[in-house]
Structures are given as C-alpha cells and as structure tokens.
Amino acid sequence: MPDERLDAEWVRAWYEEVDAALKELMESFLARHGFPPGRNEVRLATGSSHKATEALVELTPIPSDLTTMYWVIAEASLPDVDNGYFIHSPSTVAAHFREYGFIQIDGEEPALVFAGDGGGHLFAVAGTGRVWKSATASWFDQFDLDAAGLKEFLERLARRIAGQS
C-alpha cells in the first residue's frame, strides 16, 4: 500500500527543515571532514521550473506526488550527504524519459526516474507512488523497493542530512 500522498504544504515544511539542517551541516563540514563541502542545496520551484513540470506532464503521465513535489522544489543537489543525493529537475527527468523511457518493474506500474545517488544508483517513482532504487548503476538492471512513497523517501533524506549535522 502506498504511503499517504504528498501535500504541497508538507513539501514546503520539509524544504524549510532541510534548508536549516543543510546550513548547520555546511557550517561544521570543513572542521569534521578536513575539506570544504560542495554546493549542497534544495532549490525552490520557479516559474521556469513550473513550465518544465507542465511540459513533463504533457510528455508522459507522471505520478501525482512527483508533480506536487516539483510544484514546490525544482531540484536538489546534495553531494556531501552520505555518498550524494540528487533530485533531478523536471527538465532533466523529461530528457531522461525521452532517451530511456519508463523503468519496467515486474508487477508494478511503469516508473519514472527522478533522482540518483553519488554511486550512480537511480530512484524511480511508479504510478502507485512507490519509490524504487536500482540495484546497480544502470537504467536496465533490477530495481528494488526503496520507499512506500515520495514522502517516506524525502523524510529519510531529511534524517540523513540532520544525522550528519
């Protein structure tokens, strides 16, 4: 059973929590690791990213939670959180869809890749709302269940950021 659906207000609160945790993490990063951090940020949606989201919706049916998320945040680049996390922009998702199509997972509705990690693993969200992670750094290999929904995926990411602060 998929996790509860995303709400734009919840995503906005998530953003504010993550933004504060990232600031704390960046302030202590050099002292903890001995080298400066990369640029770690979650970017809020803009008029341009809203147009890209609308174009993605026109290109292919996308899970409603992904549309909700993109209506609040445009993308995230978190190279210093664990081995790195990257939520792709809607225009990047569209480009990847044009090149690779949907991810096919046995017994699941087609899934759309929306993120990756620093190891090259991909995250895809299916029409059911469930989030899947590639077992290897490949678009065409096995995908395993990672989260009941985007909300769980985002909550876990927030905990990872806060845990490193």
Integer angstrom CA distances of residue 83 from 47, 51, 89, 106, 160: 31, 31, 19, 28, 11
- pLDDT > 80? residue 70: yes
Please report the pLDDT score of residue 1 as a whole number. 41
pLDDT digits (tens, 9 = 90+) for 29-57: 999 899 999 999 999 999 999 999 999 99
The mean pLDDT value of the chain amounts to: 94
- Is the pLDDT at 106 greater than 90? The verdict is no
